[in-house]
Chain A
């Protein structure tokens, strides 16, 4: 924990009447990091975020965002922070999208020139030009989410907090959003804290994962480490042309299951150790492969394993 951490919590606690939503949470995030914050529903993710952003008063403990107490110095923290709550909007519903950017620019005390330049850049990168004149209420969910993220990034914040940014989006919209975020972070060095139910978000965006369980930190480390801890591996399902003996000798992969005399075999493998292509090449050199599917570890499963490992339900 260094002095210039962008997020720092120590023994952070928040109670809601008789329930403890966040329980002695201690972690810190350094500038430039991209951190995925995951856990089951009701595990305490949103509560933590609300305390980090100064919306919610901690019951006890210590919290600093951009080095400041977010509850006491709300306005200063708000200037350095961009937040998107997937289920809430920060845009002006009745006005054309363009107006939301103008107003937000003024709220963040940007001059007209820089508001315009920054808006143009974000609009171009997020491909939202055609929607600028559309009232926000008429945007599709995918368009609105992109607009929300542009709005959160307008004032070039040091820290971007995204709460379920891809919830409800189709595959293509998710993909575009992730690509944009990767590029934006690459250019601006923005620190990212992200909560999500989508393992794809974590894989593509985050280099560090925090898992929260019943308000407590259950895991803090890299995604690879997480996969290693819980054995959450990807599964390659191969349909073979004819009955095949068990594929026990594929480097980096382990046989999980073999059905119908080896017509369908399931191999688990660790993305860090090998690739789908390598496994497939190895198998195809010996047997004829007719079809294949890949099963991604799902976040709920990863979380469940973490919980099981830490001796909880």
Chain B
């Protein structure tokens, strides 16, 4: 546990060295926040009433929490593990008395932490200052929201980790990464809330892990999901976290047996 925590801290420090990137992230997130807020408000105005349980304050909360969590949850994936598999550096990870998946998860939680502090908090504060958005309705929503954010980070990590590990079998995984990004970006509820999807697409989304990466924590924090529904939203996330981490373990084990690091 102490090892895990130290690895989280290392991830935090490692990513805090790139301060300019954080600043650029805040700026981009905020600009896109304004654009997306305007679009959603226009859609709500033309509908004349709430759509799919979102009125103006909830929709604004949806936008700004989405922007705030964008850097925290690694929706776009990472290439570190893939690169280490390709170069053979993954061998070094196997020489440590820790589980590589847990070590990378810890590092990613650290990365999420610095992004939450450096990008997320400024974005949500800016959104809250300039727009009349809905805040979590109760202390329970805050706490459950925080848990849900951590789970979202874990689910996104676990999924990306599996994708990265495909490098054990494929020379180039860029195509798969791209597919994952596009599908994930749509189905996680980043562009539009999942409840706004047509029924067929919503069904697909709800059977996928992607809403667990963004839609669920946002719904809890925006107060659209309350009471016992919070428990089921979090339970779905727990399910995906466990399932994808488990899958990652299986793939990692198979990959280790396949490992043929030549030379060096």
Name the interface size band of chain B.
20 to 34
Do A99 and B10 touch across chains, with their CB atoms under 8 A apart?
yes
Q: Is there a chain B Cβ closer than 8 Å to A232's Cβ?
A: no
Q: Is there a chain B Cβ closer than 8 Å to A89's Cβ?
A: yes
Q: Is there a chain A Cβ closer than 8 Å to B262's Cβ?
A: yes
- Interface 9-residue window, one of B86-94, B124-132, B146-154, B230-238: B86-94
Do A16 and B96 touch across chains, with their CB atoms under 8 A apart?
no
In the docked arrangement, what's the CA distance between A107 and B91, Å?
16
Measured CB to CB, the closest approach of chain A to B30, in angstroms, equals: 26
Give every chain A residue within 8 A of B229 (Cβ-Cβ).
none
Number of interface residues of A (CB under 8 A): 31
Given A46-B263, A57-B257, A95-B13; A102-B6 close (CB under 8 Å): yes
**CB nearest to B7 among chain A residues:** A103
Within the complex, which residue of B6, B92, B99, B257 is in contact with A103, where a contact is CB–CB below 8 Å? B6
Binary per-residue interface labels of chain B (227-260) against chain A in the complex, 1 for a CB within 8 Å, 0 otherwise: 0000000000000000000000000000001011
Binary per-residue interface labels of chain B (12-32) against chain A in the complex, 1 for a CB within 8 Å, 0 otherwise: 011001000000000000000
Do A74 and B94 touch across chains, with their CB atoms under 8 A apart?
yes
Give every chain B residue within 8 A of A46 (Cβ-Cβ).
263-264
Give every chain B residue within 8 A of A90 (Cβ-Cβ).
92, 95-96
In the docked arrangement, what's the CA distance between A191 and B89, Å?
25
Binary per-residue interface labels of chain B (69-98) against chain A in the complex, 1 for a CB within 8 Å, 0 otherwise: 000000000000000000011011011111
Do A94 and B17 touch across chains, with their CB atoms under 8 A apart?
yes
Given A92-B10, A107-B98, A108-B97; A16-B91 close (CB under 8 Å): no
In the docked arrangement, what's the CA distance between A107 and B259, Å?
23
Q: Is there a chain A Cβ closer than 8 Å to B3's Cβ?
A: yes
Do B14 and A95 touch across chains, with their CB atoms under 8 A apart?
yes
Q: Is there a chain A Cβ closer than 8 Å to B261's Cβ?
A: yes
Give every chain B residue within 8 A of A135 (Cβ-Cβ).
17
Measured CB to CB, the closest approach of chain B to A243, in angstroms, equals: 52
In the docked arrangement, what's the CA distance between A79 and B245, Å?
24
Give every chain B residue within 8 A of A56 (Cβ-Cβ).
259-261
In the docked arrangement, what's the CA distance between A89 and B95, Å?
12
In the docked arrangement, what's the CA distance between A106 and B106, Å?
13
Question: Which of A75, A88, A89 has the most B CB atoms < 10 Å from its CB?
Answer: A88
Within the complex, which residue of A50, A75, A109 is in contact with B261, where a contact is CB–CB below 8 Å? A50
Measured CB to CB, the closest approach of chain A to B48, in angstroms, equals: 52
Within the complex, which residue of B3, B94, B264 is in contact with A107, where a contact is CB–CB below 8 Å? B3
Binary per-residue interface labels of chain A (67-78) against chain B in the complex, 1 for a CB within 8 Å, 0 otherwise: 000000011101
Do A99 and B3 touch across chains, with their CB atoms under 8 A apart?
no
**CB nearest to B98 among chain A residues:** A107
Do A106 and B2 touch across chains, with their CB atoms under 8 A apart?
yes
Given A95-B10, A103-B6, A106-B3; A88-B257 close (CB under 8 Å): no
Give every chain B residue within 8 A of A99 (Cβ-Cβ).
10, 13
Do B91 and A50 touch across chains, with their CB atoms under 8 A apart?
yes
Q: Is there a chain B Cβ closer than 8 Å to A43's Cβ?
A: no
**CB nearest to B263 among chain A residues:** A46
Measured CB to CB, the closest approach of chain A to B83, in angstroms, equals: 12
Give every chain A residue within 8 A of B7 (Cβ-Cβ).
103, 106-107
- 15 extra interchain contacts, Cβ-Cβ under 8 A, other than A79-B97, A92-B14, A108-B97? A50-B261, A53-B95, A56-B260, A57-B257, A78-B97, A85-B91, A87-B264, A88-B91, A88-B92, A90-B92, A103-B7, A106-B3, A107-B3, A107-B97, A107-B103
Interface residues of B (CB under 8 A from A): 2-3, 6-7, 10, 13-14, 17, 88-89, 91-92, 94-99, 103, 257, 259-264
Nearest 3 Cβ contacts at the A-B interface: A106-B6, A78-B97, A87-B264
Interface residues of A (CB under 8 A from B): 16, 46, 50, 53-57, 74-76, 78-79, 81, 83, 85, 87-90, 92, 94-95, 99, 102-103, 106-109, 135
A selection of 16 A-B contacts at a CB cut-off of 8 Å is: A46-B263, A54-B94, A55-B91, A57-B257, A75-B99, A78-B97, A79-B97, A81-B95, A90-B92, A90-B95, A92-B14, A94-B14, A99-B13, A103-B6, A107-B7, A109-B97
